[in-house]
Amino acid sequence: MSFKKVLTGNHAVSYGATSARVQVISAYPITPQTTIVELLSEIVAEGKLDAIFVNVESEHSAMSACIGASAAGARAFTATSAQGLALMHEMLHWAAGARLPIVMANVNRAMAPPWSIWTEQNDSLSQRDTGWMQFYVESNQEAYDYVIIAYKVAEQVLLPAMLVLDAFVLSHTSEPVEIYDQEKVDEFLPPYEPKFAIEPGKPISYGALSKPDTYMEFRYKMQKAMEKAVDVMEKEMNLFNEMFGRNYGLVEPYMMDDADYVIVTSGAMTSTARAAVHEMREEGKKVGLLKMKTFRPFPFKKVREMLKGRKKVAVLDRNISFGHHGIFYEEIKSAMYPVEPKVPLYGYILGLGGRDVTVKDIKEIYEDLVKREEMEEIIWKGVKL
């Protein structure tokens, strides 16, 4: 029987990894991720999860251990944040290039310096081009669900997946989370059957040298796997909905049917935006909300479908690519390029380093959006000028 439990976002991830029956966990502590692996280490120590917990001296080694485990055919899991994720960078490429379906939770935390432990997406978005799938979750339930979904997709397309949750707003805030019946999870997510596994006595070179006559084909296959992941996601989401009654998509629209103006968000600020949109709808404003959930693979088709024909769109970024713009904004702009007639898109930078994003902020952005005529390269919301 499934049951409800009040869990922090981090512990929801730990429960997700437990439900997914991960076999190897290797991690290095970093705030605000630590309580994910802390709880997992207890679960393993108590014998409630048949897994090996590998202590390491750095995140680079944590990912390396996961790579080894996954290459040997184990379901491997890790979690990290900010500087830890940055230290893994080399091995993120390795995991993806070796096509290992590792799942990692990254708790969004602003990069230092200046030192910060609060939420911001620059850490995960800096890993955009490593070949990892990225899923941004809004709630603790989603955090739990997406560990399971991530393995289901990753093991089919042979790409690693990162689920991303906001520091403190989710990681250390408690919500009721439904923990599913293990048998049903097992039915949804059968044991991992590796296509290529390292086996003692049958030596192979894993991640061997590839000369110019073959390297490009491996890269082509990775891109094809990412493209395939879009369809696999949709199929698995449907199955997930059938089995567990939660309907997730690559993106999630809210009050979008007749919306002239759309606010695009990702992560936990979506809940705030949802409340703001709800209130503004009651005031008769024709505004809708689009939540970006899957960042890689990028859901081109869904984004175009959802934003086509709108009067104006505001994209809210809790991140910045210095010298360019908010990253979701740029990605959505590039996705909308072929869409006619042109939809005016405005990019807002807000909430960096964990600064609160309030209902009032969202409403002000809406008012600003409606009035705005000229396209501006970058709009800062809430910066103390």
Partner 1 sequence: MAKEPIEFTDKVVKVESLNDLPEVPVSQRFTLVNKTGSWRNVRPVLEEQNAPCQNACPLKVWVQSFIDLLTRGKPEEGAIEILRNNPFPLLTRKLCKAKCEIACNRKKYDAPVSIRELEGFTGNIAYEKGLFPKREESLGKKVAVVGNSETMMSAAYFAYMYGMDVTLYASKPFDGLGLSDDEVKREVDRLKKWGIKVIEEDKDPDTLKSEFDAVITDKKDVENKLTFQTQDEKIFAAKPERKDISRDFYFGKRAAKSVWQYLKGEEITKDAPPPRAVSFNNIVTDYFEPEDRIDTINTMEEAIAEGNRCFSCGHCNSCGNCYVFCPDAAISWVDDFPVVDYDYCKGCGICVNECPRSVLILVPERG
Task: Point out which residues bind partner 1 (CB under 8 A).
Answer: 97-99, 155-156, 158, 193-196, 202-210, 213-214, 217-218, 220-221, 225
**Which of 296, 310, 200 minimizes the C-alpha distance to 250?**
296
Q: Which residue, 136 or 192, has its beta carbon nearer to partner 1? A: 192
Which residues pair with residue 287 across a beta bridge?
A: 261
Helix (H, G, I), strand (E, B) or coil at 331: helix
Q: Which residue, 22 or 96, has its beta carbon nearer to partner 1? A: 96
Q: Which residue, 66 or 289, has its beta carbon nearer to partner 1? A: 66
Cis peptide before 299 (omega within 30 of 0): no
Q: Which residue, 31 or 156, has its beta carbon nearer to partner 1? A: 156
Residues 41/68, Cβ–Cβ less than 8 Å: no
Q: Residue written as tokens 């698995």?
A: 236
- Please report, to the nearest 10 degrees, the dihedral formed by the alpha carbons of residues 81, 111, 354, 117 taken in order: 60
- φ, ψ of residue 235 in degrees (nearest 5): -65, -45
Q: Which residue, 97 or 253, has its beta carbon nearer to partner 1? A: 97
Q: Which residue, 71 or 185, has its beta carbon nearer to partner 1? A: 71
Between the two ends of the chain, the Cα-to-Cα distance in Å is 54
Q: Which residue, 61 or 127, has its beta carbon nearer to partner 1? A: 61
Smallest gap, in angstroms, from Cβ of residue 255 to partner 1?
A: 40
Smallest gap, in angstroms, from Cβ of residue 93 to partner 1?
A: 12
* Residue 191 per-residue DSSP state: P
Distance CA(92)–CA(111), nearest Å, equals 18
Distance CA(17)–CA(24), nearest Å, equals 10
Smallest gap, in angstroms, from Cβ of residue 67 to partner 1?
A: 12
Smallest gap, in angstroms, from Cβ of residue 156 to partner 1?
A: 7
Q: How many residues does the chain have?
A: 385
Smallest gap, in angstroms, from Cβ of residue 236 to partner 1?
A: 14
Smallest gap, in angstroms, from Cβ of residue 106 to partner 1?
A: 24
Residues 293/145, Cβ–Cβ less than 8 Å: no
Q: Residue written as tokens 């990692």?
A: 104
HSE, CB side, 13 Å, CA atoms: give it for residue 144: 24
